[in-house]
Structure 1
């Protein structure tokens, strides 16, 4: 039996990757797990949480999958991508998918465009109805400085493991991402030690990439990648 662990991002929850989870459940018979990391979910309680608790939570889920599944894939979104990369070094992960992985954080160009959109909504009197504004408002109001510090420590400490990632890896990045800049995807591709690496950019995708308008094609590409037989395992 195949298993798949989906890891969400910082200040997020399983809802960020829910469309991909639903797609995989419909198209496969895999055992799929999408846990909520400590302090995350519908109501954020991040104060007093240390980053190693996020890593340990995902690690425990992976260890359980490895006990019951012959083959295990790991998909990580944003911060979850950094955690997934680290786990792929420690454990026999068959394949790795990194979605908007947060090797770098905050894309100044796209963030500026988001602010312009918010200002336009404010000038039209539609600020309270702006989904973009409400998203930023929720994130800022619910994220203590200590949690942001822990997130940055996580990235700093885990990125040194990237050269030791040898599982076939697919890296996906949206070009309209206001949180993670496209250069993060290039840096991941250059840093990861895997012999088999695939880099995919989506022109219209923002940070929450599993909810983008190109998601149907993206999910097909992900499933195709996971179902491919690695070149070193293929038979003539």
Structure 2
């Protein structure tokens, strides 16, 4: 049996990767696991939660798959991508997929463009219907400042280990990402030691790459990558 662990991002939930999880579930008989990291989910309760708790929770889910599956793939989105890369170095993972992995974060140029669009829509009276506005407002109002430091600790732990990633790796990044700049994907691609590695840029995607308009092209490429022997 093949097991596949999908890890969502900071302040996120399984919603961020569910379209990909469902795509894979529909086409395979794999054991698909999409955990919710401590303090995360539809309602955030991050106060007092430490970065090590996020890593350990993902680690425990991975161990369970390794104990029951012949092969295990790990897919990580944003902060989840860093956790996934960390786990791929520490455990016997077969393949790795990194989506908008936060090796760098905050693409100021795109973020300013997004904010400009929000202001424009606000003038037009459409801002309350804007998904980006809702998401940013929710995260800004619900995320304790100390939690952002915990996120940065994950980055500090995982980034130095990227050079030790040696398994087949698929890296994907949205060109319009306002949170993680496109250079993050290029940095990861050039840093990891994997001999088999793919780099894909989605021309349409913002940060939530699994919810982009061209997501099915991405999903097809990931599926093909995971199917290759």
TM-score scaled by structure 2? 0.99
Residue 109 (structure 1) shift: 1.0
* Aligned counterparts of 2:126 and 2:212: Cα–Cα separation in 1: 23
- In structure 1, the partner of 2:90 is 90
User: What is the 5 A alignment of 1:19-98?
Assistant: 19-98=19-98
Residue 125 (structure 1) shift: 2.2
Matched, 1:132 2:127: no
1:150-178 alpha-carbon deviations (Å, 9 max, x no partner): 00111012111111111100000000001
Secondary structure, in 3 states, of the residue corresponding to 2:205? coil
Residue 129 (structure 1) shift: 2.3
Residue 96 (structure 1) shift: 0.2
- In structure 1, the partner of 2:216 is 216
- In structure 2, the partner of 1:234 is none
Matched, 1:121 2:126: no
* Aligned counterparts of 1:210 and 1:175: Cα–Cα separation in 2: 13
- In structure 2, the partner of 1:152 is 152
1:3-45 alpha-carbon deviations (Å, 9 max, x no partner): 0000000000101000001011100000010000000000000
Segments of structure 1 that go 5 or more residues without pairing to the other structure are 230-236
TM-score scaled by structure 1? 0.96
* Aligned counterparts of 1:115 and 1:92: Cα–Cα separation in 2: 42
Secondary structure, in 3 states, of the residue corresponding to 1:199? strand
Matched, 1:99 2:99: yes
Over the residues paired in the alignment, what is the CA RMSD in angstroms?
0.7
* Aligned counterparts of 2:77 and 2:18: Cα–Cα separation in 1: 11
1:90-122 alpha-carbon deviations (Å, 9 max, x no partner): 111100000000000110111011110111011
* Aligned counterparts of 2:124 and 2:135: Cα–Cα separation in 1: 19
- In structure 2, the partner of 1:143 is 143
* Aligned counterparts of 1:160 and 1:127: Cα–Cα separation in 2: 40
Deviates more, 1:181-190 or 1:121-130: 121-130
Q: Where does structure 1 differ by over 4 angstroms across 4 or more consecutive aligned residues?
A: none
- In structure 2, the partner of 1:187 is 187
* Aligned counterparts of 1:39 and 1:118: Cα–Cα separation in 2: 28
* Aligned counterparts of 2:98 and 2:133: Cα–Cα separation in 1: 27
Secondary structure, in 3 states, of the residue corresponding to 1:72? strand
* Aligned counterparts of 1:111 and 1:156: Cα–Cα separation in 2: 23
* Aligned counterparts of 2:95 and 2:179: Cα–Cα separation in 1: 25
Segments of structure 2 that go 5 or more residues without pairing to the other structure are none
